[in-house]
């Protein structure tokens, strides 16, 4: 079998047969241009339900047959999609209550996408029917290699519905989870405000209300909404497994999207995919973190199913990317473990809501700058694919992402600055928001969708700047492979998470807990013990009280035992710790709790292993974590892949035999020099370089190491 990186585009032949006078004749021209760009795969049909089933139980696959045949004739493989995100007009007309109901009680209008309620029995049944008919029909087509289920579950605020079907399903879900009303009342603490439930049918959906809802109720509703889409997803996966056992199955995720638990949603997939858009507020580090999160969901390589090629149409601001953008973003994805890159979209739409979204061809059918870059990449990947075969990222540090904790913090943030949709003006002067450098090296606020990764940004960016690979994984993962585990916001603790962290530290690992850790139990109630609750045996230290800092109020930390006595600025949240015998690494410098402990370390020797737990009772930007990592990483034996100037990202994919493929990506707007450990041959150009390497603005250089080499120093 020929080694291959899948490389292609998202294509909508059904649109162009309607919009252009030449109709289906255009398909051949498009396929020829795709092949000229070196493409080998095309994604089709995720929004075509109304064309594939124009009337109830009348299926028309003939037009899709013709489109696939044209692509197949040009040696293009096909990824098909179950078209369930767009229920057809006839279905919504017959059953208008399929459309979701918002928390305010308003029924969503038809005529767009993602209207359907996954708990509506008719929508679910019709989704099963169209998926099964389509899957059966194309199960043996030689061009079809895999399937994408649906499209972006939860997009457009569609993760949660408040209709009567969801109300009934929620009560059933609660009964299965708790077994008895007594258990539910105990778990939710319903004695507060006399909320005790004597009948399952009395439990409401947590729609908009005059006062705040019970946070335990809200957390369970989020879990229920996530489980609803997981069950819908698994229905489609089961159909695909039964009829297409030789095809892969994936789904296109939305990065740090918060409304669904991606670990549960994706458990039955072969690999995950995601849609990579450099929205307003995104930076090279936020995109790198998202790639690492996508890899960490199943801890295997992934695809980018929608890669931006120009302007997008939906962000707060939509500038035209600079030359080299497509190539740089493509190789960044490959560096972090992508085995497939699919560009969205092939051609800019002439009609519909995405007319301002760029394509590889513009609306007039002309090749764009994105097409030229894709064509260059296509020729390069033919040479690069054999080298990348059977390689994947390898990290010695993990950051834990826990959906329960994210939901609990969003439900009760205790400061508006921790809300994911907060306006950037709330945090203009707070240093804790200055967490992500842009391509020029200046510091940006976490705005736009970047807020969705805000809790993980500071430690991640500090490691990214050091060119130290990171895995972003679930807390219950096997953590033994990591030398350092960072849990920046583990607010809620399930028993399994407590056991996983105990086992990790008892096995000799270095655990870093961030502020608000261990405050809540699995039901989103406070533990009846000092924070960090069940993890206190690992920290020794405990939280005496916490202070919430307004955006214009900051604190400074001093490091009593550090050789560098510079203070570190922090903001938003400050916990005063009782060390209880733990080593104090940093204290607060000013204010009425000056001199009190802010960061502690507790070392323990258990069964011969020397584990340690660091507790950060404060929030800050990467500078805070840089100071901490200066103290920890050397002793932990963690080193960068290659030291490089700020703005030059270094990432590696590793084979089982230790062979490394090293990527250097210059995100900055200036040339840099890097000193390499040895002479290299650039796999993209074939050019040989000495140890002193010049890398221009936007340039990508990839080379191969037969064995891991010692880190070099930047110049």
Residue 693 in any domain: the answer is yes
Average pLDDT over residues 171-181: 98
Helix (H, G, I), strand (E, B) or coil at 392: strand
Confidence bin at 179 (pLDDT 50/70/90): very high
Residues 492 and 551 in one domain: yes
Residues 132 and 199 in one domain: no
Residues 73 and 187 in one domain: no
Per cent of the chain over pLDDT 90 is 86
Q: Tell me the pLDDT tens digit for each residue of 600-652.
A: 999 987 777 789 999 999 998 899 999 999 999 999 999 999 999 989 999 99
Range of the structural domain that residue 335 is part of: 6-160+233-390
- Identify the pLDDT of residue 662: 98
Q: What is the distance between the alpha carbons of residues 446 and 571, in angstroms, rounded to a whole number?
A: 14
Contact assessment for residue 581 and residue 443, using Cβ atoms and an 8 Å cutoff: no
Contact assessment for residue 583 and residue 611, using Cβ atoms and an 8 Å cutoff: no
152 is catalytic: yes
Residues 361 and 442 in one domain: no
Q: What is the distance between the alpha carbons of residues 516 and 490, in angstroms, rounded to a whole number?
A: 7
Contact assessment for residue 478 and residue 503, using Cβ atoms and an 8 Å cutoff: no
Residues β-bridged to residue 340 = 6, 303
The pLDDT mean for the chain works out to 93
- What Cα–Cα distance (Å) separates residue 36 from each residue in 287, 311, 371, 379? 29, 23, 10, 9
Helix (H) or strand (E) holding 240: helix 215-243
Residues 72 and 196 in one domain: no
Residue 643 in any domain: the answer is no
Residues 156 and 170 in one domain: no
CATH number for 612:
3.40.50.880
- Identify the pLDDT of residue 431: 52
Residues 172 and 205 in one domain: yes
Contact assessment for residue 63 and residue 80, using Cβ atoms and an 8 Å cutoff: no
Q: Tell me the pLDDT tens digit for each residue of 246-298.
A: 999 999 999 999 999 999 999 999 999 999 998 888 899 999 999 999 999 99
Confidence bin at 566 (pLDDT 50/70/90): confident
Residue 630 CA to chain centroid, in angstroms? Answer: 27
Residue 641 in any domain: the answer is no
- What Cα–Cα distance (Å) separates residue 259 from each residue in 223, 410, 411, 426, 448? 9, 11, 12, 23, 16
Residue 268 in any domain: the answer is yes
Whether residue 480 is predicted with pLDDT greater than 50 in this model: the reply is: yes
Residues 14 and 39 in one domain: yes
Helix (H, G, I), strand (E, B) or coil at 575: strand
- Identify the pLDDT of residue 3: 72
Cα torsion 65, 68, 70, 74: sign: negative
Those residues with Cβ within 8 angstroms of residue 528's Cβ, 6 or more apart along the chain or in another chain: none
- What Cα–Cα distance (Å) separates residue 201 from each residue in 98, 226, 335? 22, 21, 52
- What Cα–Cα distance (Å) separates residue 151 from each residue in 44, 51, 182, 273? 11, 17, 40, 11
- Identify the pLDDT of residue 564: 72
Residue after which a domain boundary falls, among 587, 612, 636: 636
Backbone angles phi, psi at 693, to 5 degrees: -110, 130
Contact assessment for residue 368 and residue 310, using Cβ atoms and an 8 Å cutoff: yes
- Identify the pLDDT of residue 451: 65
Lowest mean pLDDT among 518-522, 551-555, 698-702: 551-555
89: nearest Cα among 106, 58, 113, 105: 113
Q: What is the distance between the alpha carbons of residues 176 and 146, in angstroms, rounded to a whole number?
A: 35
| Structural domain count, the chain | 4
Lowest mean pLDDT among 410-419, 439-448, 588-597, 631-640: 439-448
Average pLDDT over residues 339-344: 98
Strand ranges across the sheet with 338-344: 248-250, 144-148, 77-81, 41-44, 6-10, 338-344, 302-308, 273-276, 252-253
Range list of H helices, 57-205: 62-73, 89-94, 121-138, 164-178, 181-188
Contact assessment for residue 599 and residue 612, using Cβ atoms and an 8 Å cutoff: no
Helix (H, G, I), strand (E, B) or coil at 574: strand
**Biggest distance spanned by C-alpha atoms of the chain:** 79
Residues 198 and 276 in one domain: no
DSSP state of 13: H
Q: Tell me the pLDDT tens digit for each residue of 372-412.
A: 999 999 999 999 999 999 999 999 999 999 999 999 999 99
Helix (H, G, I), strand (E, B) or coil at 137: helix
306 is catalytic: yes
Residue after which a domain boundary falls, among 587, 609, 636: 636
Confidence bin at 481 (pLDDT 50/70/90): very high
- Identify the pLDDT of residue 280: 82
Residues 354 and 475 in one domain: no
Give the pTM: 0.95
Contact assessment for residue 700 and residue 327, using Cβ atoms and an 8 Å cutoff: yes
Average pLDDT over residues 531-540: 97
Range list of H helices, 547-649: 622-636
Residue 413 in any domain: the answer is yes
Residues 270 and 320 in one domain: yes
| Angle, in degrees to the nearest 10, between helices 62-73 and 25-36 | 40
Catalytic-role residue among 46, 306, 373, 575: 306
Q: Tell me the pLDDT tens digit for each residue of 8-29.
A: 999 999 999 999 999 999 999 9
Residue 69 in any domain: the answer is yes
Average pLDDT over residues 549-576: 87
Residue 711 in any domain: the answer is no
CATH number for 654:
2.60.40.1180
Those residues with Cβ within 8 angstroms of residue 260's Cβ, 6 or more apart along the chain or in another chain: 153, 154, 159, 225, 226, 229, 230, 403
Whether the bond between 532 and the residue before it is cis, its omega within 30 degrees of 0, is yes
Residues 420 and 500 in one domain: yes
Average pLDDT over residues 551-574: 85
598: nearest Cα among 574, 567, 622, 566: 574
Contact assessment for residue 694 and residue 671, using Cβ atoms and an 8 Å cutoff: yes
Q: What is the distance between the alpha carbons of residues 242 and 319, in angstroms, rounded to a whole number?
A: 45
Residue 24 CA to chain centroid, in angstroms? Answer: 37
Residue 178 in any domain: the answer is yes
Average pLDDT over residues 481-501: 97
Those residues with Cβ within 8 angstroms of residue 669's Cβ, 6 or more apart along the chain or in another chain: 439, 440, 697, 698
Whether residue 527 is predicted with pLDDT greater than 50 in this model: the reply is: yes
Residue after which a domain boundary falls, among 355, 390, 425: 390
Catalytic-role residue among 115, 152, 268, 575: 152
């Amino acid at each position: 079998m020929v080694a291959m990186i899948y490389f292609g585009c998202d294509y909508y032949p059904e649109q162009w047969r309607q919009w252009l006078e030449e109709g289906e004749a255009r398909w051949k021209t498009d396929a020829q241009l795709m092949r000229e760009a070196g493409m080998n795969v095309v994604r089709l049909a995720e929004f075509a339900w109304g064309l594939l089933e124009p009337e109830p139980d009348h299926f028309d696959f003939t037009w899709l047959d013709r489109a696939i045949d044209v692509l197949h004739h040009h040696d293009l493989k096909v990824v098909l999609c179950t078209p369930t995100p767009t229920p057809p007009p006839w279905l919504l007309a017959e059953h208008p209550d399929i459309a979701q109901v918002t928390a305010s009680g308003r029924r969503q209008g038809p005529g767009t996408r993602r209207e359907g309620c996954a708990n509506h029995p008719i929508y679910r049944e019709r989704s099963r029917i169209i998926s099964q008919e389509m899957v059966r029909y194309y199960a043996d087509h030689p061009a079809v290699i895999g399937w994408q289920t649906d499209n972006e579950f939860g997009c457009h605020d569609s993760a949660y519905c408040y209709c009567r079907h969801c109300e009934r399903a929620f009560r059933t879900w609660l009964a299965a989870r708790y077994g008895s009303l007594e258990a539910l009342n105990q778990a939710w603490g319903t004695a507060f405000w006399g909320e005790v439930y004597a009948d399952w049918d009395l439990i409401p959906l947590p729609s908009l209300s005059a006062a705040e809802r019970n946070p335990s109720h809200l957390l369970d509703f989020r879990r229920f909404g996530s489980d609803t889409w997981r069950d819908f997803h698994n229905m489609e996966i089961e159909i695909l497994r039964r009829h297409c056992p030789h095809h892969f199955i994936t789904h296109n995720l939305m990065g740090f999207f918060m409304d669904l638990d991606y670990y549960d949603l994706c458990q039955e997939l072969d690999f995950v995919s995601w849609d990579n858009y450099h929205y307003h507020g995104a930076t090279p580090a936020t995109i790198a973190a998202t790639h690492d999160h996508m890899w960490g969901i199943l801890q295997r390589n992934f695809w980018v199913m929608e890669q931006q090629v120009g302007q997008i149409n939906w962000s707060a601001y939509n500038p035209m990317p600079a030359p080299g953008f497509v190539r740089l973003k493509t190789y960044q994805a490959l560096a972090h473990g992508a085995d497939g890159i699919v560009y969205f979209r092939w051609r800019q739409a002439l009609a519909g809501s995405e007319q301002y979204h760029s394509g590889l061809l513009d609306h007039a059918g002309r090749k764009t700058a994105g097409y030229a870059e894709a064509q260059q990449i296509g020729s390069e990947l033919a040479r690069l694919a054999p080298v990348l075969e059977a390689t994947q990222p390898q990290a010695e540090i993990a950051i834990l992402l826990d959906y329960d904790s994210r939901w609990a913090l969003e439900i009760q943030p205790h400061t508006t600055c921790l809300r994911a949709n907060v306006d950037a003006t709330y945090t203009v002067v707070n240093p804790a928001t200055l967490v992500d450098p842009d391509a020029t090296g200046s510091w940006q606020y976490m705005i736009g969708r970047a807020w969705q990764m805000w809790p993980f940004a500071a430690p991640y960016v500090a490691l990214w700047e050091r060119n130290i690979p990171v895995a972003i994984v679930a807390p219950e993962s096997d953590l033994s492979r990591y030398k350092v585990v960072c849990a920046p916001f583990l607010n809620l603790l399930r028993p399994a998470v407590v056991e996983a962290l105990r086992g990790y530290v008892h096995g000799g690992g270095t655990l870093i807990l961030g502020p608000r850790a261990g405050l809540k139990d699995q039901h989103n109630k406070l533990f009846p013990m000092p924070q960090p609750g069940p993890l206190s045996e690992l920290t020794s230290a405990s939280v005496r009280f916490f202070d919430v800092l307004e955006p214009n109020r900051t604190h400074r930390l001093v490091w009593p035992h550090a050789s560098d006595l510079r203070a570190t600025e922090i903001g938003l949240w400050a916990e005063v710790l009782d060390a209880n015998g733990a080593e104090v690494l940093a204290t607060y410098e000013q204010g009425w709790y000056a001199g009190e402990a802010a960061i502690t370390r507790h070392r323990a020797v258990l069964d011969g292993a020397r584990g340690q737990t660091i507790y950060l009772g404060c929030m800050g930007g990467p500078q805070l974590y840089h100071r901490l990592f200066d103290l920890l990483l050397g002793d932990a034996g963690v080193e960068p892949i290659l030291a490089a100037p700020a703005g030059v990202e270094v990432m590696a994919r590793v084979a089982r035999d230790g062979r490394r493929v090293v990527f250097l990506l210059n995100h900055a707007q200036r040339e840099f020099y890097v000193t390499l450990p040895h002479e290299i041959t650039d796999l993209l150009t074939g050019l040989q370089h000495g140890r002193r390497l010049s890398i221009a603005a936007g340039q990508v250089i990839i080379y191969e190491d037969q064995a891991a080499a010692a880190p070099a120093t930047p110049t």
